[in-house]
A and B are shown apart, each in its own frame.
Chain A
């Protein structure tokens, strides 16, 4: 590449940013949407699900039963305490299958007698549809009542034999959380931050990349830029910086949205749903325990991966004749990003050598995850940074060489 003049690069980048910022739709999808989407999901889903479960718990459900007369009175009381009404039927399987009842219970004849005999006890049949959430919820209630009844019988039998209940628990296990402070605090952040960084840089950067390349061709402004004194290398770097700015802005807005969502969630959900919400809130939100060195590592890694994504977007969008074509060229890239990001959730099941840190995208995902959990190694960090710098440089050189190719520039 010929030498670069920062003033001209800045002008190209600034012009590109103005052009995209003034497009309300792009501004909304690149800046506003990433900020709103997570708070809405974090708050909306638990509230919606919580509301539905709450309503289900309040509703009195009819349960089909065969042999109600055989049921001990204590078991009936325990079951009906869960807002359940038992209705005597003849064919429980057909009724549950047809959806007339969400669950059914079959009590064998002589149930109480069988229960009082020694040896294996009587067998109950519980009909439900595990694929239906409502059926599963009701059968869960029944199961809980039956378990309670079973525990009562066990307690009675142990007492009759002069044994303490603890005889059934010869061992105790005490679980101690050995996670570092950073791991304890990170919640879902360890997976979400790298995912957002990559996903939203890609989503937010793509409109800027398309506008800067295929958009310029479609509008007929590229030729005017190329006959100006701007060097091709300067035009490429200017457009790259504009793409990077938009991509990073989207990612930062998504991460901010996550923190805002977490704060709102702990306020609203815990107040509304009480202790039940504490677990959901702690699982979904999280906090970063970073010192200045790890914070710097996180920022630099995020910047480098955003640069890599911006360079890919620019290199590919450049080949397109127009917006539509550029979008179809860029769309398959989503898989390149989503698949490693999803796989990151299961990363601890695999053993990686340091060589994995040379693979762009995957390396940043693993490194950001490690930084947040506080266990990033120096060698992994260096390999990741060097790899991202080299690959971004190569992509920009590729984009620059294509920006000189007549077949790419004048493909109309």
Chain B
């Protein structure tokens, strides 16, 4: 469903993402795990056609990020922690607006809102203006907006950042409950427990590079670590040691 090959993004001299390659199959929740500034958001922005890669390519649901960007955008949904809503519009108005942008009929929008209402417990967020929402309510509508057109690929980018414990749980429950059949999800976060709970496989990104990719158990086994968090630190240390030794050789 998602194929990424040699994806690189430079901002001037700064290499934000370097030679990233991975695949995500249909039915899979794939984690992008890394500290803040590792390049996760830049990677997802390239996949969502918001940023143009310096080199490399990617295809999503059969569409190339450079050549078929418009078709590709019809097949993805994006949820990120910083996303907001139009404060002076109700949940229903916001969802209807986006539904229309995706060329959905009024009837389809209505049906889909009903499905998502049940799944996300949207309740009165549908009828109240977004300016009055709590962060949790806001994030529910952000998720509903991202999946309203039923895309086969969904990106979650730090989707729980800034949320309280209840709202965070609602996001995690959604990712768990949302049917994955025929769909692929990339879940990007710096929170290990979320990857541990939600993802089938994960890539660990550090300083713009992918330092490991495996199943969650696989990552633990590679490092003989009892938890994903410990596995993460061991992998980061190993990557740092490799970089240092290469630098020494060069010097």
Contact = CB atoms under 8 A, between A and B. Distances in A.
Say which size band chain B's interface belongs to: 20 to 34
Given A11-B100, A19-B86, A22-B89, 13 more contacts: A15-B89, A15-B97, A18-B93, A223-B50, A224-B98, A224-B146, A227-B73, A227-B78, A228-B102, A229-B70, A406-B51, A406-B52, A410-B51
A224 B78 contact: yes
A227 B84 contact: no
A221 interface: yes
Interface string A386-412: 000000000000000000001001101
B80 interface: yes
A226 B103 contact: no
B82 interface: yes
B83 interface: yes
Interface string A307-334: 0000000000000000000000000000
A219 B78 contact: no
**In the complex, which of the residues B85, B101, B102 has the most CB atoms of chain A within 10 Å of its own CB atom?**
B101
Interface of A: 8, 11, 15, 18-19, 22-23, 219-221, 223-231, 406, 409-410, 412
Nearest to A230: B101
A18 B94 CA distance: 11
Interface in B92-109: 93, 97-98, 100-103
B80 A223 contact: yes
Given A224-B98, A224-B145, A19 B103 contact: no
Most buried by A among B51, B76, B98, B142: B98
A263 B75 CA distance: 59
Contacts of B11: 406
B186 interface: no
B88 interface: yes
A226 B48 CA distance: 9
Interface in B139-168: 142, 145-146
Contacts of A223: 50, 78, 80, 82-83
Contact of B98 (A18, A23, A228, A412): A228
A409 B73 CA distance: 17
B48 A227 contact: yes
A223 B78 CA distance: 9
B244 interface: no
B80 A228 contact: no
A11 B100 CA distance: 8
A219 B101 contact: no
A220 B102 contact: no
A409 B51 CA distance: 10
Given A15-B97, A19-B89, A231-B70, A224 B83 contact: yes
B185 to A, nearest CB: 15
B73 A229 contact: yes
B101 A18 contact: no
B242 to A, nearest CB: 30
A227 B51 CA distance: 11
A221 B84 contact: yes
Nearest to B71: A229
A18 B78 contact: no
Given A18-B89, A229-B103, A220 B83 contact: yes
19 contacts: A11-B100, A15-B89, A18-B89, A19-B89, A219-B87, A221-B86, A223-B83, A224-B142, A224-B145, A224-B146, A227-B73, A229-B70, A229-B74, A229-B101, A229-B102, A406-B11, A406-B50, A410-B45, A412-B82
Contacts of A227: 48-50, 73, 76, 78
Nearest to A12: B101
Contacts of A219: 84-87
Contacts of A225: 101
Contact of A228 (B51, B73, B83, B84): B73
